[in-house]
Each structure stands twice: as structure tokens, then as C-alpha cells.
Amino acid sequence: MRQDIERDNMKIGFIGLGHAGGALASTLLRNGVDLTVRDLDRAAAAAFVAGGAAFAESPRAMAESCDIVITCLPSPAASAAVVEGPDGVLAGVRPGLVWLEMSTTDPDEIRRLARRFEERGAVAVDCPVSGGVHRAATGNISIFAGCDRGVFERVLPVLKILGRRILHTGPVGSAATLKAMTNYLATANLLTLCEALVTMKAAGLDLATTYEAIRISSGNSFVHETESQVILNGSRDISFSMDLVQKDIGLFQKTADAHGVPLEISPLMIEIFRDGQRRYGERANSDDIIRRLEEATGLSILAPGFPAEMVDTEPEEQGYEIVRGGRP
């Protein structure tokens, strides 16, 4: 458990207990936060309630009883429904309430919703995470926070519980813009790793040796050290699906289009994942994208000794703010 932080008996609500949301909410509960949870699938909340969390019958009820409401949802439309619905967060908002939007969302949409909170004397923080579900589960994930500096300092104690490296990115919308960019880069890396692994197999190289060659070289990356392992295992499961990839790289393309940047690689990536969805399903594991090359070549990209899922082996560490140049 993290070192105790002064929270003034703060009550925190969490909506969205999927892969990432469930891991983040578990970190709050493990660290003794007064937690209320909600998910459309009430069964997803059962373990939290058994562990001492309360259950909110509606987003409105949560807003009426909590100081901070966190959402971690699969799409901008889902967030809007939770916030603006008849029994949504805005229906129960009180002056001083803080909404932390931890979903990967559209920058324009988070700015629009933030204005609605401000009109009611509340504040919104654009607060996506990066680093994978396995790091969300240990509280070692990275967090971007877009909001006024004063608001950032107000929520920083909670962010230090949720994650390890915390970056204040600027005004609301800046964090969402940066998060889409990082997911675009991760996706580009995934696709090039797929091509590299299949090409090395075709050339007769041992895939376990190939993995180590990449890991110790200038070709290494976070994506390689995580996703290449579950690809070689065959599970291809990092708790992320193709529809989420399409949403994220689409958001990045939207930003480029809005600013007149003539991207060349991004449209190709979008088409590759469209093809992957047509073949394997909208919600197929994102790493199943390698199957396109396996099928085209007749090769099996598997190797013994790699895990079926990623587990963060680093000890849970107190979060800290990242400043220019690294850790303060």
C-alpha cells in the first residue's frame, strides 16, 4: 500500500469497471480510498462492494455523494451518456465537484463537457492513462492531466495514488490530444513489430532469439517488451481490442486533418485495422492483427517461454509529477 496521503476524508466515485477502469478502481480501493463504484454490468462491481466500496444506483447519485467522480469508458459517446443522461453526473453536480475523465476521448468533446461542468461551479480534468492494464493494476501507470494548474494541484494527491508518473499537460483537451498521439505511435510500433517478426521467421531466424535481438537493440520499445511477448505466446491478449485501436488512431487522424497535416502512414494504419476488423471481428484482440501476415505467408509466429498475459513486476511506487527534464 502507498504511503498515506492527506485526502480530507475525500469521497471518490468511479464509473466504468472494464479492463483499465477496473484496474484503476482496484488501486484506489487497495489504498484505502472511500470509494463508490458503478458499471452497467452490476456483476463487475461485486468484488469492489465485497472489498468495502459502495455502489451507486446512478451517475447522478454518485455526483450527489462524492467529491470526485472518475469515468473510464470505451468511447466519447459513452462518456457523454454518463455525464449528460437524465440521471447523469451533471444532474447531480454540486459546486466544487471534480470530474476526472480518464477515458481516451476526443479533445473537442472533453472541452465541451468541461464547459458544462464549469457552468455549474464544478471542474473537469482531462486525465487519460498510458502504459497498459498491467500497470494500471499496480498503480504504476502514467497519467496525463489537462486542466488549470490550481486544479491540477488539487487533484494531484489522488493522481499519485492512481499512477506513478503524472504529467500536467496544459489546459483541458491537451491531455486527450497527447494520449491519442501516444496510442498512434504504439499502434505504428505494433504493426512494424508484426512485420519484423514475420520477416525474421520467413528468413529462418529463431523467434526467441529475434525477440532478444530487438530487446537489446536500438529497435527496442515498450510495445516490444510487452506486446511481442503475448504475440509469441499466441494469446495475443493485452486487454485491448481493435475497435479501441480504431477509435484512438482515428482521433489522431482527426487532429492532423484539423491542422492540415498531410499524413501518409496514419491512413494506411487505419485501413490495416479496418481489414483486421472485417476478418476477425470488431472486438478482436488488437494483437490479432499479426494474423493477416501469418495467413498471407502460412507462417506461425509462436515461440515457447513467453507469457499469455502481461504482469507488472515492478513494486508499487508513490506517484510523482513529471517536469521537463524528468523526475523532479
DSSP letters along 99-117, please? EEE-S---HHHHHHHHHHH
Residues 90 and 117: beta-carbon distance below 8 Å: yes
Q: Which residues of the chain have pLDDT under 50?
A: 1-7
What's the pLDDT score for residue 223? 98
Q: How many CB atoms lie within 10 A of CB 301?
A: 21
Amino acid occupying residue 138: T
What's the pLDDT score for residue 134? 95
Cα separation, 230 vs 246, whole angstroms? 20
What does residue 151 show for φ and ψ, rounded to 5 degrees? -65, -40
Cα separation, 103 vs 21, whole angstroms? 9
* All three cell numbers of 65: 455523494
N-term to C-term CA, the chain? 23
Residues 233 and 208: beta-carbon distance below 8 Å: no
Cα separation, 126 vs 130, whole angstroms? 13
Cα separation, 176 vs 103, whole angstroms? 9
- Residue 167's DSSP bridge partners are 144, 322
Q: How many CB atoms lie within 10 A of CB 90?
A: 20
What's the pLDDT score for residue 8? 56
The pTM for the full model equals 0.94
Cα separation, 69 vs 81, whole angstroms? 15
How would you label 51-72 residue by residue, b for 16+ Cβ within 10 Å and e otherwise? eebbebebbbbbbbebbbbbbb
What's the pLDDT score for residue 9? 76
Q: Which domains are present in the chain? A: 11-173+313-322 (3.40.50.720), 177-297 (1.10.1040.10)
Please give the torsion angle defined by the CA atoms of residues 243, 88, 154 and 142, in that order, rounded to the nearest 10 degrees.
-10
Residue 160 annotated among the catalytic residues of the structure? no
What's the pLDDT score for residue 5? 40
Express each pLDDT in 152-169 by its tens digit.
Answer: 999 999 999 999 999 999
Q: State how beta strands 11-15 and 34-38 pair.
A: parallel
What's the pLDDT score for residue 324? 75
Active-site annotation holder among 179, 201, 247, 254 = 179
What's the pLDDT score for residue 326? 58
Amino acid occupying residue 175: A
Residues across the chain: 328
Instruction: Classify 52 as helix, strand or coil.
Output: coil
Count of H helices and E strands in the chain? 13, 10
